Structures are given as structure tokens and as C-alpha cells.
Structure 1
Amino acid sequence: MIVSESLYRIPPVFDSFPNLIAAESTRHGGVSSAPFASLNVGINTTDTPENVAENRRRLFSSLQVDPQQVASSYQVHDDRILTVTQPGRFEGYDALITNQPNHFLTVTVADCTPILIYDAGQQAVAAIHAGWRGTVARLVQKTVKALQEQFGTQPADCFAYVGTCIDQDSFEVGPEVAGQFDEVHKRFDADRQKFLIDLKAANADQLMRAGIPAPQIGISPYSTVLHHQDYFSFRAENGNTGRMLALIGLRSSH
């Protein structure tokens, strides 16, 4: 349970890097009314644009991030990766990577899994949006490969965070979706006659398969469904809800 109603939480796995800005927002501290109460930062929701703009302003201000230095994409649950060379709004990408300081990468979520990666060796970062489709497409592993190809990243130098998303017990799927997941990441609930998928474990395993050491991977202890007083949940709120934002970037040291 989150004790304070803060606008964001900082993943502890990144605590020892003073120039790294990494955070995931909560639903607290904004101006939106129900069902978007209160810090809805989702551009593609039916909340008023003025509310969303003010919420994003508050979040970026609290992180001391200039909105003009933010990169985001309209996400499509695919496996395309964008190498960000300038901030802005893009379309069709579910993962963003950069080695440019003062370029802050963002993904929006409300049950899907946000994954943030910091390459401490080459000073590069990645932000990934992985729902079940992105997870099955192994977007996390593809993003680590893109970091290697673009920036010479060594996975052993990377630190990563698997963020707040839907928990396994809440994520019911049918056999057509469950069949695309490894056995270790699903279980069948006989009472509900549904499969239950563990998105956090599936994406953490991809990070490890890509070569990132397990002690350098943090996993959020929170669930968008079980803790939806602190986080938006698309499923728990029947699709009419706000979005959180996960952000990562390096502040230049000069």
C-alpha cells in the first residue's frame, strides 16, 4: 500500500544513479474528476485535454523535467522500437530507446506492463510498454537487442524495472491467449475455467534471458487491480479510466 498520496514512485533499483530520472506515476495529485481521478496523464482518453495537460505539467514539474524534452508514442501493442534522437510525440511504437541526455522517454499504462532499462555503461535508456501482445512478441528482449546494436550496450551493465501492472490472479484469459505463453508464466484456475497470466514474471524472465543479471532487476510489488485506489486499472474500471506514465532519462551533468 502506498502510504503517501504522491504523484509518482521511484523504482529502488535506480536509487544509486543521481543523474538518472526514473519514475512511474500514481493516480494522485491531479485535477481530473471521476472516473479519471485524479492524475490522468493519458492523452488518448475522454478526459478533457485541459485536465490531462495540467496533470502532465504537474507530474513533469515534480520530476523537474521540461515537457519539451519528453518523447512519447501512440502505442499499438506491437513490437516496433524507436531510436529517439529528438523529443516529441510519435506514433506506432511500443518501445523507445535513446543515448541522448535530457531526452526523457515515456510510456503510458493502465494494466499493461511498463519496463524501464538503464545501461550504466553506455549511458542509454529504454522505456517499454508490454501488454500481453508485446510480451508474447518478446518486445523486452528485442529492445535489449536494439540497445546492443544501436549503442553497444552490454546487458551485464544494465539495470531494469518491471513496473506496476495487472497481477496474475486478476489477469484472466482464454486458451487462445494462454497458449502463447510459456507454461511457467500461466496457471489454470478450475473454478473460473480461465488461465491466469503473470506478466511481471514473463517480462522479468525476458530481461534475464537477454543477459541482465537478476540482482539488477527490480519488480514492482503493486498491482493496478489490487491497488487501484493508487493506480488506474483498465480492467477493474471497465475500460473507462485514466492512465499512468512511466518515465526514464538521463539529466546532463553540466
Structure 2
Amino acid sequence: MIVLESLHQIPAVFQPFQSVIAAESTRHGGISPFPFSSLNVGLNTTDLPEHVEENRRRFFSSLGISPEQVASSHQVHGDRILTVQQAGRFEGYDALITNQPHHFLTVTVADCTPILIYDAGQQAVAAIHAGWRGTVARIVEKTVQAMNDQFGSQPAACFAYVGTCIDQDSFEVGDEVAEQFDEAHKAFDVERQKFLIDLKAANVAQLVNAGIPASQVGVSPYSTVTHNRDFFSYRIEKGNTGRMVAVIGFRPAE
């Protein structure tokens, strides 16, 4: 069993860049009681708001981030992308991009896939929320294009991380969902009579298709389901659970 005890884990793909701050939260180190135990940072859960606020403070503080520097959105499983000019809470976006230092972009997950991107050439970042709907809508490819349009980002200079989400063996779907995925990212389980979808692989493929070298893409080794002790899973906990966040931003090089 993989056991994590920290409030966060740092994607190795970004570690060479001292100006970048990027992390995923775990479910450890917070104050929320069951079933949100313990580091629930989800703003739209039925946990007490003061618990969530303290949990978020702890998580961001562990990274040297002030909550006033954080940008987030109420996600709707769509493909809208917001260019962030100031921190705050927004509505209806599933991807955030910025080239502003000291602005830290977040996405909230509990089985869906978080994707973080850093453009080392133009100094820009992106945080993307991709459930199956966002993946089918190709939100990752659209975000890479938006970074190019807005900031002149070149995919060859970008580094990306596909974060912790539901694993393929746990993500059973029916024909109507499976038919929207490429053959390479689904498998039919005869015993269960269900298709199994690999969200990580599907989003890695989009990053590579968008031009980011595969060698510059990191992938979380964890699953929200099989490592449920360390991460929240909406599916296995039947919706009555907390949320994690993935965050990315940068400070100017000194």
C-alpha cells in the first residue's frame, strides 16, 4: 500500500524549476471530521465552511501561498478557459491560464483528472479540470492552444503533469460514454460487461498531440480509488466525501 502523510505532493516534472510552485493536496493534515476526513478543501461540499477555510489555509500555507493569491472556478465539466488577470473565485470555467506571477491557479477534483502546465519559455501556467466530459471535449488541447494564442507559448517549451484521478480498472462506463473515447484509451471487461476508461492516458495523449514532448509530461502514480486512504474518491465514497486541489503558479526568478 502506498501511504502519504503530507498535506501535499509535489510533481517531479516541475522540480527543476525553482520559480514554479505546483502541488496536489492529499486528504491528510486537515480538521474536517468523517466523511470529509480530513483535509477537505472543496468549497462546494456540505462540510462546515470554517473547516474548509482552515484546511485551505493549511494547504496553501504549506506551499508559501496566501489564499489572496489563489484563483479558482466553479467547474461545470465543460471546455471554457479563463485567462486570469487577478486572483478570486470565478464561475463556469474548467481551465485557468495566466502569465501573471504570484497568481496561483487551482482546480478541484475527487476522481476527475487535474492537469497542470508550465511554459518555461514565456513564463505562463495552466490548471485544467478534465473529467470524462472535459476529456472528450479535448479541453487539454484547447488549453495548450489558448496559451499559444494568449502568451505565445510554444508546446516544445512546456512541461505538464497529469495528476491523481480514478484509475482505469475502477472507471466503469456504459457504451454511450465509451463510444466517445479512442480505442487506445478504453477496454471492454467481459466479466463486468462494462468499458473501462483510462483518463490519464487519454489526457497524456492530448498533451502530446498538442506538441508537448512526452519526455516533458509527468503522470501521477496514484489512484483516488485504489489509494483512497490518501485521496478522496467521489465514486467509491458515493459522493459523500471531500475534495482535493491541484495548484500551479510561479514567482519571478530572483
Question: Counterparts of 1:58-97 in structure 2 under 5 Å?
Answer: 58-97=58-97
Q: Distance in 2 between matches of 1:151 and 1:252?
A: 16
How many angstroms does 1:3 deviate by? 4.0
In structure 1, the partner of 2:42 is 42
Letter aligned with residue 120 of structure 2 = A
Instruction: State the TM-score, normalizing by the size of structure 2.
Output: 0.99
Does the CA contact (< 8 Å) of 2:82 and 2:97 recur in 1? Answer: yes
How much does 1:251 deviate? 1.4
TM-score (ref. length: structure 1): 0.99
Residue 169 of structure 1 and its aligned partner are, at CA, apart by 0.2
Question: Could you give the per-residue CA deviations for residues 191-223 of structure 1, whole angstroms, max 9, x where no partner exists?
Answer: 000000000000000000000000000000000
CA positional deviation for 1:252: 2.8
Cα distance in structure 1, aligned partners of 2:129 and 2:159: 17
Q: Which residue is equivalent to 1:56?
A: 56
Contact (CA 8 Å) 2:3, 2:230: kept in 1 or not?
no
Counterpart of 1:181? 181
Q: Deviations over 1:74-117 (max 9, x none)?
A: 00000000000000000000000000000000000000000000
User: How far apart, in 1, do the equivalents of 2:94 and 2:2 lie?
Assistant: 28
* Deviations 1:160-191 (CA, angstroms, capped at 9, x unpaired): 00000000000000000000000000000010
SS at match of 2:122: coil
Q: State the alpha-carbon separation in 1 of the partners of residues 18 and 89 from structure 2.
A: 27
Equivalent residue, structure 2, for 1:193: 193
- Structure 1: state its 5+ residue gaps: none
Identify the residue that residue 143 of structure 1 maps to in structure 2.
143
Counterpart AA for 1:233: S
Structure 2: how far apart are the matches of 1:177 and 1:253? 44
- Partner of residue 158, structure 2: 158
SS in 2 for 1:200: helix
What letter matches 2:184 in structure 1?
V
Runs of 4+ in 1 over 6 A off after TM superposition: none
Distance in 2, matches of 1:2 and 1:65, equals 27
Alpha-carbon separation, structure 2, partners of 1:2 and 1:20: 26
CA distance in 2, matches of 1:25, 1:81: 23
Gap regions ≥5 residues in structure 2: none
Give, in angstroms, the shift of residue 253 of structure 1: 3.3
Structure 1 counterpart of 2:107, one-letter code: V
Query: Aligned partners of 1:62 and 1:113: how far apart in 2?
Result: 23
Tell me how far apart the structure 2 counterparts of residues 176 and 3 of structure 1 sit (CA, whole Å).
36
* Distance across 1 between alignment mates of 2:110 and 2:76: 14
Alignment of 1:1-254 (within 5 A): 1-253=1-253
